[in-house]
């Protein structure tokens, strides 16, 4: 049986719904902007090994705030990224995890340092992968993952609030103006950052970085101060304050720009009218070609014409004399002697292959005449 309090709530809800529905029915239509297509997400390998990170089954993450690796997986997937969790310290496990990925994410190593446990070949594989264009993102890196991989000597310190000081051209430039010191944060001492490091967020005393990046070859390292404890959207009441946006930016630094494919060179051409004839039954063609390449002219019927091949250095008209073969000349001379006039129709076949492109063949019938 429904209690009086609940009966009141049901009735109140029905009345409110009716009023809202009525208001919507008489409201003027609202113009809506065309939907903005979502940005393609990053392909991410995320360390989810319980020997090193705090994790949990994703089905239980909403009610368990202290599992940072799982929190990061949920958040990254919610923002459109493809996350592949992996475990292991062997070269085979690490190389397999990195294959085809844009970004490696190493959550807070609450259960133990990962880099010292890596096989030497696994460590080398990570460094080579980053320097070849990958990105590595670490959160609350007090276990010195970047130090162990790249020889840095970064030191961590207490938490603080950080201001956006990203330079022009940085992907973090348009990020949140400030980042809060969420529960579970630890700064990086600016004085210990490696040469060339770029501080993206810094505290008001300019001593401690909340986010910094470095270039390693063609790749990027990103260090984040927060560890993703009790994090939105993994927990409905989780912490954020702009960190979710910053993580999204961080993992996107590994996305490679699509390789520009140069358009195939044109192979379009036509066979023109003959521009001249010789007494020996040759035909002169001036063929307009779109660029450098190779032009081969002969007959569709084997043996009717001599085959001519010509290199073309630039666009423009290529002049070619097309001459009958010995057997055709012999027939024409015989006809000329008998009738006083000699001619024959032959289908000319021309093949043009542009430099770096595909060949194209065009045919056309020409009249070959022999005069006395």
Domain boundaries, the chain: 43-252, 276-370
Q: What is the mean pLDDT of residues 57-63?
A: 94
Between CA 336 and CA 350 the distance in angstroms is 28
Which tops the pLDDT comparison, 144 or 30?
144
Between CA 200 and CA 224 the distance in angstroms is 10
pLDDT of residue 262: 81
* CA triple 14-16-18, angle to 5 deg: 70
Between CA 139 and CA 69 the distance in angstroms is 10
Annotate 65-80 with DSSP letters as a single string.
Answer: TT-HHHHHHHHHHHTT
pLDDT digits (tens, 9 = 90+) for 69-87: 999 999 999 999 999 999 9
pLDDT of residue 31: 44
pLDDT digits (tens, 9 = 90+) for 273-299: 988 888 888 999 999 999 999 999 999
Most distant CA pair in the chain: distance in Å? 122
28, pLDDT greater than 50 = no
Domains 43-252 and 276-370 share a fold: no
Q: What backbone phi and psi angles, to 5 degrees, belong to 341?
A: -135, 140
pLDDT of residue 35: 52
pLDDT of residue 261: 79
pLDDT of residue 318: 93
Mean per-residue pLDDT of the chain: 89
CATH code of 43-252, in short, is 3.40.50.880
13, pLDDT greater than 60 = no
Segment holding 122, helix H or strand E: helix 120-131
The CATH number fitting domain 276-370, selected from 3.20.20.140, 2.60.40.4070, 2.130.10.10, 3.40.80.10: 2.60.40.4070
8, pLDDT greater than 50 = no
Q: How confident is the model at residue 38 (pLDDT cuts 50, 70, 90)?
A: low
């Amino acid at each position: 049986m429904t209690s009086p309090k609940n009966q009141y709530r049901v009735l109140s809800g029905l009345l409110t719904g009716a009023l809202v529905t009525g208001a919507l029915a008489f409201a003027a239509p609202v113009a809506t902007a065309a939907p903005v297509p979502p940005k393609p997400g990053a392909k991410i390998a995320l360390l989810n090994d319980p020997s090193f990170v705090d994790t949990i089954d994703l089905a239980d993450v909403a009610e368990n705030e202290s599992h940072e690796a799982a929190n990061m997986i949920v958040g990254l997937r919610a923002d459109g990224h493809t996350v592949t969790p992996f475990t292991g310290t062997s070269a085979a496990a690490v190389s397999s995890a990195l294959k085809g990925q844009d970004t490696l994410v190493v959550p807070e190593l609450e259960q133990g340092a990962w880099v010292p446990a890596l096989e030497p070949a696994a460590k080398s594989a990570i460094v080579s992968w980053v320097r070849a264009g990958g990105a590595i993102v670490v959160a609350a890196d007090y276990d010195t993952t970047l130090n162990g991989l790249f020889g840095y000597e970064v030191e961590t310190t207490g938490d603080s609030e950080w201001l956006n000081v990203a330079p022009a051209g940085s992907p973090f430039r348009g990020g949140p103006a400030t980042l809060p010191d969420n529960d579970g944060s630890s700064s990086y001492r600016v004085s210990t950052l490696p040469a060339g490091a770029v501080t993206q967020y810094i505290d008001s005393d300019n001593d401690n970085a909340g986010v910094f990046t470095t270039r390693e070859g063609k790749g990027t390292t990103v260090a984040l101060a927060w560890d993703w404890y009790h994090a939105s959207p993994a927990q409905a009441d989780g912490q954020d304050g702009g960190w979710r946006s910053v993580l999204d930016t961080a993992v996107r630094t590994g996305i490679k720009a699509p390789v520009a494919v140069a358009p195939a060179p044109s192979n379009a051409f036509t066979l023109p009218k003959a521009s001249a004839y010789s007494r020996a039954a040759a035909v002169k063609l001036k063929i307009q070609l779109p660029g450098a390449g190779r032009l081969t002219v002969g007959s569709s019927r084997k043996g009717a014409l001599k085959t001519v091949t010509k290199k073309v250095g630039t666009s423009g008209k290529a002049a070619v004399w097309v001459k009958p073969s010995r057997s055709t000349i012999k027939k024409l001379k015989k006809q000329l002697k008998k009738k006083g006039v000699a001619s024959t129709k032959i289908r000319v076949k021309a093949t043009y292959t542009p430099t770096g492109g595909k060949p194209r063949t065009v045919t056309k019938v020409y009249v070959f005449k022999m005069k006395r």
